[in-house]
């Protein structure tokens, strides 16, 4: 078994030695000349290899004190602090505690909010022009009195409801705004080290009209020489707009002048109250036109399927036959809790249903606006991308480790009776990117082609290929990546023109995180458009651990649990370190559009709440979730007739 694990590890992360320093490849001197090659084909099988050899893990959605809400909540860390932490350095959190990751990340995007960027440092400092406004003085005094969370919620609600004081607006072109943006760029430039750590330049466009979250994270492929020629696109008029179409116009203009490249990642949609993945234009209610469909498909290549504000893959109401659908749910209402959630909103908020509806739109328009890849990220407002269950530093500064954070209230709107507790915040997630090297260009290009997957925190390695000629023997080959790229397309890819009599076959492999839990199972989620034009879905267990046998319903029984909640511990005595298989769709219809993506499920482990209860000796509130089944979601592979 050990030899099998090592062999698959080599196949899953083929060429992992690429992470070694350059001197590892320097030739040694010898007095004996090597014989000349008699063949034009190099002896080394890795000469000319162009495909990705390893996944890089990072976060595309982190806030610092430059974001007005993060600062009001208590964040004092700057973009430079954030990059230092992601690189593996010890950083003192805003709560005064030292923090460090178990292992450095490979990349980070500091994505501070577009609107009022840089406002909070001046609010906190009590600058005269800020204090001259009654609301500014009120917020300043609340923060100094230790009531930053109240100030933060007031700031969020004022921005959401269009009542933010005009006198306090930090807009593009003003000195405070420009200074914050230039410092954001300077921080990324300082900490970007091609080949070792990638610091992306980016921001979060913060459309939130009526509290309905339509945020997008904008990521630059470019260095500061181009990014500094523009300023982020904002929401408030006249310079900004809350409509995604206007953000896409800004992106197109940036590609024209100064000739750079950007992409947008949609924020997880579970606080959009049914507006993230609509079937009509979300602001006007008008039917989509071809321009909207094609433009969204061009600019929005990825979706944030999991983060601290809950999971965005699917929901039990939408997927009642999926036993893993009830996971880290945030289905209370919109971002500022001003409007409660209703069930009719759910189908327009979650990734799986959006992928299904995308097939329907493609059949009408010829283009799929919801043909996105999957990533996870944190949306932490602390400057710390600490998404490990036993090392979780919360979403906001008041949620950094303390004996009382599990009992505290995060959101409480007495008008709507929406109440969210701090224990409901998720320790999630990270983006995994299959890139050829750790540089801005290579990582961005991989995101653009959607060769990515989401993880709720653990850095498991997941490969997923689709093609027409994979067979069972391919799962046994040690050089899995070479086989996958040679016979098929990777996650994010496309299949078409099904050969007569053939069904698509999928080569899928998953390996546990080096520091983490064993795997329970690997699943393939299929969605398709049936002959009547209705969308369908099916979840298939394709590989699992422990010799279990599927029941009459085709489902593999639960694996059980080794979690000791009281001691916040578990053992890897169940599950498997790696799972690999070739699976062929048993119900393929060559005339029907379809997508397939992989979901990897870990064995149950202690949730961050269990670690807190143990460390601080506190009793959790009734109903507190104490265990978690961590998971990963790959980008789909699509089939188009």
Degrees (nearest 5) of the Cα angle 256, 258, 261? 70
- CA pair distance 375, 431, nearest whole angstrom: 5
Higher per-residue confidence, 312 vs 38: 312
Q: Are residues 266 and 372 in contact, defined by beta-carbon separation less than 8 angstroms?
A: yes
Asked whether residue 1 carries a pLDDT value surpassing 90, the answer given is no
Dump pLDDT digits (tens) for 228-261. Answer: 999 999 998 888 999 999 999 999 999 999 999 9
Q: What mean pLDDT do residues 312-323 have?
A: 97
Q: Are residues 320 and 197 in contact, defined by beta-carbon separation less than 8 angstroms?
A: no
Asked whether residue 4 carries a pLDDT value surpassing 50, the answer given is no
- CA pair distance 475, 583, nearest whole angstrom: 10
Please report which residue ranges of 229-306 form alpha helices under DSSP H. Answer: 244-256, 290-299
Asked whether residue 79 carries a pLDDT value surpassing 90, the answer given is yes
Range scoring the smallest mean pLDDT among 144-158, 344-358, 537-551, 598-612: 144-158
Instruction: State the helix-helix crossing angle for 175-191 and 79-86, rounded to 10 degrees.
Output: 20
Q: What percent of the chain has pLDDT over 70?
A: 94
- CA pair distance 109, 100, nearest whole angstrom: 18
Dump pLDDT digits (tens) for 208-232. Answer: 888 899 999 999 999 999 999 999 9
Name the band, by pLDDT with cuts 50, 70 and 90, for residue 491: very high
Name the band, by pLDDT with cuts 50, 70 and 90, for residue 129: confident
Tell me how long the chain is: 641
Chain centroid offset of residue 269 CA: 12
Dump pLDDT digits (tens) for 111-128. Answer: 999 998 988 888 888 988
Q: What is the pTM of this model?
A: 0.92
Range scoring the smallest mean pLDDT among 15-24, 492-501, 569-578: 15-24
Residue 329 is predicted with a pLDDT of 96
- CA pair distance 205, 213, nearest whole angstrom: 11
Asked whether residue 162 carries a pLDDT value surpassing 90, the answer given is no
Higher per-residue confidence, 580 vs 50: 580
3-state SS, residue 537: strand
Q: Across-strand partners of 638?
A: 494, 595
Q: Across-strand partners of 208?
A: none
3-state SS, residue 553: coil
Q: What mean pLDDT do residues 586-594 have?
A: 97
Contacting residues for 322 by C-beta, under 8 A, at least 6 apart? 314, 316, 539
Q: Which two tokens stand for residue 67?
A: 């974001």
Q: What percent of the chain has pLDDT over 90?
A: 80
Q: Which two tokens stand for residue 354?
A: 């959006």
Q: Are residues 116 and 174 in contact, defined by beta-carbon separation less than 8 angstroms?
A: no
Residue-averaged pLDDT of the chain: 92
């Amino acid at each position: 078994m050990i030899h099998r694990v090592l062999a698959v590890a080599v196949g899953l992360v083929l060429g992992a030695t690429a992470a070694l320093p350059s001197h590892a490849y320097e030739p040694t001197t010898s007095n004996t000349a090597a014989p000349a090659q008699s063949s034009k084909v190099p002896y080394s099988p890795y000469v000319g290899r162009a495909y990705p050899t390893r996944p890089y893990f990072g976060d595309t959605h982190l806030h610092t004190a430059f974001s007005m809400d993060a600062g009001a909540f208590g964040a004092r860390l700057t973009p430079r602090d954030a990059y230092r932490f992601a690189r593996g350095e010890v950083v003192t959190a805003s709560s005064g505690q030292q923090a460090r990751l178990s292992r450095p990340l490979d990349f980070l995007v500091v994505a501070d909010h577009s609107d009022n960027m840089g406002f909070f440092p001046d609010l906190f400092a009590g600058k005269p022009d800020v204090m001259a406004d009654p609301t500014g003085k009120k917020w300043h005094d609340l923060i100094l009195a230790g009531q930053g969370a109240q100030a933060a919620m007031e700031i969020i609600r004022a921005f959401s409801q269009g009542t933010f004081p005009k006198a306090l607006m930090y807009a593009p072109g003003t000195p405070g705004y420009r200074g914050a943006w230039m410092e954001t760029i300077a921080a990324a430039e300082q900490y970007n080290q091609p080949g070792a750590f990638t610091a992306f330049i980016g921001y979060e466009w913060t459309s939130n009209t009526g509290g309905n979250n339509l945020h997008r994270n904008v990521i630059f492929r470019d260095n500061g020489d181009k990014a500094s020629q523009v300023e982020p696109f904002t929401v408030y008029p006249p310079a900004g707009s809350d409509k995604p179409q206007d953000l896409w116009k800004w992106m197109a203009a940036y590609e024209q002048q100064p000739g750079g490249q950007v992409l947008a990642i949609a924020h997880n949609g579970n606080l959009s109250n049914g507006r993230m993945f609509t079937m009509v234009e979300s602001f006007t209610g008008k039917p989509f036109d071809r321009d909207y469909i094609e433009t969204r498909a061009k600019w929005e290549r990825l979706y944030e399927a999991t983060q601290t504000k809950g999971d965005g893959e699917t929901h039990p109401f939408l997927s009642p036959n999926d036993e893993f659908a009830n996971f880290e749910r945030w289905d209370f209402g919109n971002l500022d809790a001003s409007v409660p959630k209703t069930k009719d909103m759910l189908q327009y908020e979650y990734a799986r249903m959006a992928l299904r509806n995308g097939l329907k739109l493609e059949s009408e328009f010829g283009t799929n606006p919801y043909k996105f890849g999957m990533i996870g990220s944190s949306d932490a407002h602390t400057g710390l991308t600490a998404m490990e269950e036993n090392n979780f530093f919360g979403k906001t500064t008041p949620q950094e480790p303390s004996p009382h954070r599990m009992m505290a209230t995060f959101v409480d709107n007495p008008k709507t009776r929406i109440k969210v507790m701090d224990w409901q915040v998720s320790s999630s997630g990270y983006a995994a990117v299959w890139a050829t090297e750790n540089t801005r260009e290579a990582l961005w290009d991989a995101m653009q082609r959607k060769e990515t997957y989401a993880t709720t925190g653990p850095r498991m390695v997941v490969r997923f290929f689709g093609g027409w000629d994979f067979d069972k023997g391919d799962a046994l080959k040690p050089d899995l990546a070479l086989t996958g790229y040679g016979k098929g397309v990777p996650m994010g890819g496309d299949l078409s023109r099904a050969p007569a009599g053939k069904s698509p076959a999928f080569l899928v492999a998953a390996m546990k995180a080096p520091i983490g839990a064993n795997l329970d199972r690997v699943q393939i989620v299929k969605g398709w458009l049936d002959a009547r034009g209705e969308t369908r879905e099916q979840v298939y267990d394709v590989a699992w651990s422990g010799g279990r046998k599927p029941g009459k319903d085709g489902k593999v029984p639960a694996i059980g649990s080794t979690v000791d909640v009281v001691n916040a511990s578990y053992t890897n005595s169940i599950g498997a370190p790696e799972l690999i298989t070739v699976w062929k769709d048993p119900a393929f219809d060559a005339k029907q559009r379809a997508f397939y993506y992989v979901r990897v499920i870990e064995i149950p482990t202690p949730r961050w709440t269990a670690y807190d209860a143990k460390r601080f000796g506190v009793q959790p509130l009734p109903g507190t979730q104490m265990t978690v089944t961590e998971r990963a979601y790959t980008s789909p592979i699509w089939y188009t007739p």
